[in-house]
Structure 1
Amino acid sequence: MTVEAELTPASYIGHHLQYLEKQVGEGSFWTLHLDTLITSGLLGLLMVLAFWLATRKATSGVPGKWQAFVEIMLEFADRQARDIYHGKSKLVTPIAITLFFWILLLNATKFIPADFIAKPLELLGVPYWKPVPTADVNATLGLSISVFFLTLFFALKSKGVGGLTKEFLTAPFGKWMVPFNLILNIVEWLSKPVSLAMRLFGNMFGGEIVFLLIWVLGGAGILGMLGGATFGLGWMIFHILVVPLQAFIFMMLSIVYLSLAEDSH
């Protein structure tokens, strides 16, 4: 069945939830979601380019509009990082800035109707394209696992291998409860990246489903079109708050985890 023949709401939504996949080697474990990877990479380059354009003609006098906007946003991220993190590492602010603005751009693709991207690509022979990278659990897990390894690096740098091992075995119940301490600390460390990823994924994926349902409603005659336009506008206005809020929460929790990694129990 061709894409054009898929007229039911279920098939329409199912089509837009398909990934552009690439098998690498044998087994589904090596399946790459090319749409997620390509969109994330392009938006990351866009973020770097935007910051570069702001700094290329930076002036200490009266700044231009774009320079002023970028400076305000960078100062915002820097202030949040400094308020939470009290260690000595100079990497925290760049990490916070990268996470916030990159995730903000990834989330913002939600504002583009799915057909605006999928239909032109179908004409070029691309059968599927899922436009919102953070609605892919692989992307959010990739981000959270990166934060996990950064947390581990900060902990090792601050406490050393011996100090971190001792903390795993003796905190919080003392040296006589080593098995319980070890289990509790392993669960705590592993739950952080999982909860970080699932929170972002759940909000973005749920929002994407609602948007697709609204687009389906828009195809149900004149009343459906009016209802879809009304609900779509309201849902989009709501997501003007959700999109930056989810990026902000991910950034803040990441900084909290980095700060806790350097604290001693």
Structure 2
Amino acid sequence: MAAGNEVAPAEYIQHHLINLTFGLHPENGWSIARTAEQASDMGFWAIHLDTMGWSLGMGFLFIWLFRKVGNAATTGVPGTLQSIIEVTFEFIENLTRSTFHNVNPIIGPLALTLFVWILMMNTLKIIPVDYLPGVFEKVGVDQMKIVPTTDLNATFGMALGVFILVLYYNFKIKGAGGFAKELSLKPFNHWALIPFNLLLEVVALLVQPFSLAMRLFGNMFAGEVIFILIALLPFWAIWLLDVPWAIFHILIVTLQAFIFTVLSVVYLNAAHERH
């Protein structure tokens, strides 16, 4: 679907903000939603096929790319791709060493995976908003959102994965009793203030996945909306605004991947700390 005189602006915007949703509709049974109303009627028993497909695609691309470069790595003068990956690896290694002050061999690979995977998903935003959806529309797929991080389901899924690890290491390292004491005796170490401490600490703990998910989603979704609004402008204005915004957005997509990774490592480091 292209902008311009073919469709109304409101319809154009709504079209680009609807995921390719497959689920159980009360009236249509198992089907693909054609409108936002149909998608909302599916409720819990639905899946965003485009979000899942592009997320998995970027994940497999990440694994294939790093494995290929790792197998072909040379001690001589590295190629461009090897240099980029080595710089990325060293950057995440230094980040992990400066942020995580305990011993856990999983944290480094986890940080590298989060940063590169989120960066690759975010970078899909640089592709013009009408290009790939237009290609899929020609083969009969009406809705196609290619940036998984503009879907709250994707960002919450990653955030919940990190949060599960936070809970796991809290219980593993501190034990159930130690974790309970940490929640009930901080910041005020007095039995009379246990209810107040619990309220503060439980809220602070539950805020972690929300802060991770909402920050990434909010920035990526806002950027997507701006790209869509630019696409509604006349042709000359699109090139005048779209290119500078895309260049500026390269910084945004990198920064958001970095923030998600740093906060994840910080939360996991806190889970390893004994108080």
TM-score range, shorter chain: over 0.9
2:239 to 204, 226, 229: 229
Give the match for residue 23 of structure 1: 23
| 1:69-122 residue CA offsets vs partner (Å, 9 max, x unmatched) | 211111111110111101011111111000000000010010011211111111
Partner residue, 1:40:
55
Match of 1:213 among 204, 226, 229: 229
Residue 188 (structure 1) aligns with: 204
Task: State the 1:3 CA deviation.
Answer: 8.6
Q: Which residue of 2 aligns with 1:9?
A: 9
Provide TM-score, normalisation by structure 1.
0.92
Query: Deviation digits for residues 20-47 of structure 1, max 9, x if unmatched?
Result: 0011587511211110000000010000
Counterpart of 2:100?
A: 85
Residue 195 of structure 2: aligned partner: 179
Bigger Cα displacement from structure 2, 27-36 vs 168-177: 168-177
What is the Cα deviation at residue 59 of structure 1?
2.3
The AA in structure 2 aligned to 1:146 is G
Residue 10 of structure 1: CA displacement? Answer: 1.1
Q: Deviations over 1:102-143 (max 9, x none)?
A: 000010010011211111111111110011110001111111
Find out whether 1:65 has 2:75 as its counterpart.
no
2:270 is matched with which residue? 260
Contact 1:20–1:129 (8 Å) recurs in 2? yes
* Alpha-carbon separation, structure 1, partners of 2:161 and 2:149: 15
Deviation (angstroms), 1:147: 0.8
Q: Secondary structure at the match of 1:186?
A: helix
SS at match of 2:44: helix
**Structure 2 match to 1:160:** 175
In the other structure, the counterpart of 1:220 is: none
Stretch deviating more after TM superposition (165-174 or 246-255): 165-174
Q: Distance in 2 between matches of 1:125 and 1:212?
A: 21
Task: Name the counterpart of 2:39.
Answer: none
Unaligned ranges ≥5, structure 1: 218-223
CA, structure 1 residues 3+23, in 2 after alignment: closer, same or farther (shift >3 Å)?
farther
1:6-30 CA-partner distances (Å, limit 9, x unpaired): 5111111110111100115875112
Give the aligned residue type for 1:23. Answer: G
* 8 A Cα contact 2:18 2:143, kept in partner: yes
Q: Aligned partners of 2:25, 2:269: CA distance in 1, in Å? A: 39
| Structure 1 residues 90 and 106, CA gap change in structure 2 (3 angstroms) | same
Q: CA RMSD in A?
A: 1.8
How far 1:157 moved relative to its partner? Answer: 2.3
Q: Distance in 1 between matches of 2:71 and 2:176?
A: 42
Look up the equivalent residue of 2:179 and give its one-letter code.
L
Cα 1:25–1:9, aligned 2, differ >3 Å: closer, same or farther?
closer
SS in 1 for 2:22: strand
Q: TM-score, normalised by structure 2?
A: 0.89
For the residues of structure 2 that align with 1:134 and 1:92, how far apart are their CA atoms?
22
Indicate if the aligned counterparts of 1:35 and 1:129 stay in contact, CA closer than 8 A: yes
More helix by share: 1
Contact 2:156 2:210 in 1 (8 A): yes
How many residues align? The count is 258
Secondary structure of 1:238's aligned partner: helix
Cα distance in structure 2, aligned partners of 1:67 and 1:169:
49
1:60 to 1:159, Cα distance in 2 relative to 1, 3 A: same
The residue type equivalent to 1:259 in the other structure is N
Structure 2 unaligned spans of 5+: 27-41
Partner secondary structure for residue 75 of structure 1:
helix
Match of 1:251 in 2: 261
